[in-house]
Amino acid sequence: RWRPLPSAALQPPDVFATGSWDNEDNRVSIWSAGDLGNAGLNGEYHGEPHLLCDIQHNGDVMDMQFLDQERIVVASSTGTVTIFRHHQNNQTLSANHRWEKAHYHVDQDTSCGGAACTGVVCNNPEIVTVGEDGRINLFRADQKDAVRTIDNADSSTLHAVTFLRTTEILTVNSIGQLKIWDLRQQRNEPSQIFSLAGDRVPLHCVDRHPNQQHIVATGGQDGMLSIWDIRHGTMPVSLLNAHEAEMWEVHFHPSDPDHLFTCSEDGSLWHWDTSTSVSEKPSFLHQGGRSTAYLSHSTINQSVVSAWLSNDPTKDRMEITNLIPNQTLSVNSLDVLGPCLVYGTDAEAIYVNRQLFA
């Protein structure tokens, strides 16, 4: 995850956090993206990311998100949620606050009762977590106890969560459903339920369009990218054939949401570009043997309707590029900010691309 930039900042992001899993000793680490140094022949920078600091973490890191410039919220397979603080003056990490067993199967007190916390989303100072136990927690960074817990929010595993607006969240589960929860309501029922037709394909990831809060993208077990308009109907507006295996993360570009990024167990990381002027752009996507496919979509009136919601495939096109064509191991996680992409793979390697739109 990129550390967020101050709102007025013009420079590209330079610091990111990673979390490990499946190790005896898992760690949360803070990295500097490396000196820009001299651009190589292809305009590529060869500065190596270097480790600024790290700290031990109990359990697998299942998800994490920066709360602000200094604090990062980390979800553990043990069910615990921890806020770590990055001290930039002396480059250390410390545990700032911990909610032990925020997620649990039997009760919080049994030693083995923890259930994995699978997803976390922040809207400072509020933090929402979801887990394998089908529970939703609302925490505040400054409070010891949960502000609100919806105990039996779901009978299946909740895999991911995002804020729709400050009082509403959206969850995705292991039977292909999206559910909207209004945190102002005291009742523990979703205000809306959406679902994939037919097969109950587990959904692993979700992201909301940064400017148009009714547009949501999800990805799941079958590698399909689904685009939803939560104002209409209960089914996705479009299903796009994407990856050949599980899609682990989906992210709209936060400041340029015509661009979307997905990564998968099949070792690919796709850049989906719906910006209208695809045909006029310099063809940087063709360098380096990258494969580019064209998918159709329509443009009804771009100022009113997002390209993501169109469904007449004859008028225009979407450009899709696999940014890592020959990768064989799973790409587990990605984040994008400004011109920079960071991703991690099962090769136990972290990659930074600082020229997404070069």
pTM of structure: 0.88
A 10 A CB-CB count for 178 gives 23
Could you read off the pLDDT of 68-122 as tens digits, one per residue?
999 999 999 999 999 999 999 999 999 999 999 999 997 766 666 789 999 999 9
Top-confidence residue, 306 or 260? 260
Could you read off the pLDDT of 11-25 as tens digits, one per residue?
889 999 999 999 999
End-to-end CA distance of the chain: 21
Residues 6+ apart with CB under 8 A from 54: 27, 28, 29, 30, 93
Could you read off the pLDDT of 149-181 as tens digits, one per residue?
999 999 999 999 999 999 999 999 999 999 999
Q: Is the pLDDT of residue 310 over 90?
A: no
HEC sequence for the chain? CECCCCCCCCCCCCEEEEECCCCCCEEEEEEECCCCCCECCCCCECCCCEEEEEEEECCCEEEEEECCCCEEEEEECCCCEEEEEEECCCCEEEEEEEECCCCECCCCCCCCCECCEEEEEEECCEEEEEECCCCEEEEECCCCCCCEEECCCCCCCEEEEEEEECCEEEEEECCCEEEEEECCCCCCCCCEEEECCCCCCCEEEEEECCCCCCEEEEEECCCCEEEEECCCCCCCCEEECCCCCCEEEEEECCCCCCEEEEEECCCCEEEEECCCCHHHCCCHHHHHHCCEEEEEECCCCCCCCCHHHCCCCCCEEEEEEECCCCCCCCEEEEEEECCEEEEEECCCCEEEECCCCC
Q: Which domains can be identified in the chain, with CATH numbers?
A: 13-34+45-153 (2.130.10.10), 159-276+309-357 (2.130.10.10)
Per-residue pLDDT band at 42 (split at 50, 70, 90): low
- Backbone torsions φ then ψ of 286, nearest 5 degrees: -95, -5
In the predicted model, what is the mean pLDDT of the chain? 86
